[in-house]
Amino acid sequence: MAPFPLSLGEIFGHWESYIVYLIIGLAFGYVLEISGFGKSTKLAAQFYFTEMTVLKVMFSAIIVAMVGVFLVTGLGLLDYNLIWVNPTYLWPGIVGGLIMGVGFIIGGFCPGTSLVSAATGKLDGIMFVLGVFFGIFMFGETVSLFEDFWMSSFMGRFTLMDLFNLDTGIIVFAIVVMALVAFAFAELAEKYIGKMNLSQFGKWRYGAGGALVVLAGMVLVIGQPTNADRWERIAAVQEERIENREIYAQPGEILHLLDDRQITVQFIDIRTEAEYNLFHVLDAIHVPFEDIQDYAPVMLAEPGNTVFMLMSNDEALATDAWKILIAEAVPNLYVVEGGINNWVNTFAEASFIEEYTIAPITPEALAFALPSALGSRYVASDPNPHMFENLTYAERVKLEVKRGPASGGCG
């Protein structure tokens, strides 16, 4: 993966990047205005099939961005996991979409286009923006009344690839074809219902459509990188981190982090269910090793102050899981040094260690013959930080700054 900066702030600096944001915002608003999107009559015309500019412009932006993203992802220049995709809340999303659609038809604007209209002094745009602010205020005051529904039917980062269980290239190519077909029908509606002269649009649009089909075909042929492909691109750097023991967090440091209210430590136990039930750290989440890649989207959706600690009986299996998750761009990811065995040796009572310690027969075996499957009810599962204040350790955990989600919407 190319070592590109993660944000404009890393390129220009914190405050200087706001100048770039301002320029982008002004340019976006200018494009919307010259496209006629500041006129409510033009926007509302699409619902009467007399002028389909909104459909064509918005859908064009969607498919161009889609093809571009997955093309550079396929070439290894971009990690799709680092792109924010709005999580899906199915039924709230459907209801919200219907409410916004009705508002669009009645008012002739969506939130973004209303700001463009208001900025140019149009009265209907100004009134719509005031309505938007009032709606935001009312939502904030009443959301507690329907919060259960608002947070219901959560599906996480759910895409069409997940829905149809198809390769990304097939979905991309199919959507481009569907868009071009939709554009053709839109122009027929403009011709016969809106009585528009289509020659004003020029023939260049046919070439643009053909180019998109070609690029979508390239996405289909190139495909998307596998986990192994992504690891190969970063292996040189990450193997050095493993060699230098940078990814292994000592139990003492982890216990200190557990006492830090500004950080959330999440243990991921990748052992078998039987081993997990026998002993595990309090609140550790059980994700078997074979399912660890599928769990990456859940980890990516966690808040930016979450530190993940992978645990196996020793280090080897957890290190393999670390490689998989690092290739999936999971941030703040570490391996518990020495695994469960070292954790118990560090925090269990001396009498417990003396009584139950055995010599592991095979690598990654539990070093203790525990009498009962008590899970997290052993004392060592939830050590008291104040009892181990004198532990010495090398600090390895460095909290990465996670980018905030970008907002969604219609522009």
Contacts of 252 (CB under 8 A, 6+ apart): 346, 388, 391, 392, 393
> Comparing 79 with 269, which gets the higher pLDDT?
269
- Under the banding of pLDDT at 50, 70 and 90, the label for residue 304 is confident
Q: What is the pLDDT of residue 12?
A: 77
The whole-chain average pLDDT of the chain stands at: 91
Distance from the first to the final alpha carbon of the chain: 30
Q: Indicate if the pLDDT at residue 411 is higher than 70.
A: no
In the predicted model, what is the mean pLDDT of residues 304-322? 96
> Comparing 34 with 283, which gets the higher pLDDT?
283
Q: What is the pLDDT of residue 86?
A: 87
Q: Indicate if the pLDDT at residue 14 is higher than 90.
A: no
Q: What is the pLDDT of residue 160?
A: 94
Contacts of 216 (CB under 8 A, 6+ apart): 67, 172, 173, 176, 177
**DSSP SS3 for 163:** helix
Q: In order of start, what are the domains of the chain with their CATH numbers?
A: 8-226 (no CATH), 228-388 (3.40.250.10)
In the predicted model, what is the mean pLDDT of residues 254-280? 95
In the predicted model, what is the mean pLDDT of residues 69-81? 92
- Under the banding of pLDDT at 50, 70 and 90, the label for residue 4 is low
Strand spans (E) along 279-392:
285-286, 306-311, 333-336
Q: What is the pLDDT of residue 189?
A: 95
- Under the banding of pLDDT at 50, 70 and 90, the label for residue 407 is very low
CA 161 to centroid of chain Cα atoms: 15
| Interval 27-59: pLDDT, tens | 988 988 888 899 999 998 988 999 998 899 889
Whether residue 50 contacts residue 177, with contact meaning beta carbons closer than 8 Å, is answered with no
Q: Indicate if the pLDDT at residue 150 is higher than 60.
A: yes
- Which percentage of the chain shows pLDDT scores above 90? 72
In the predicted model, what is the mean pLDDT of residues 108-124? 91
In the predicted model, what is the mean pLDDT of residues 82-95? 91
Q: What is the pTM of this model?
A: 0.82
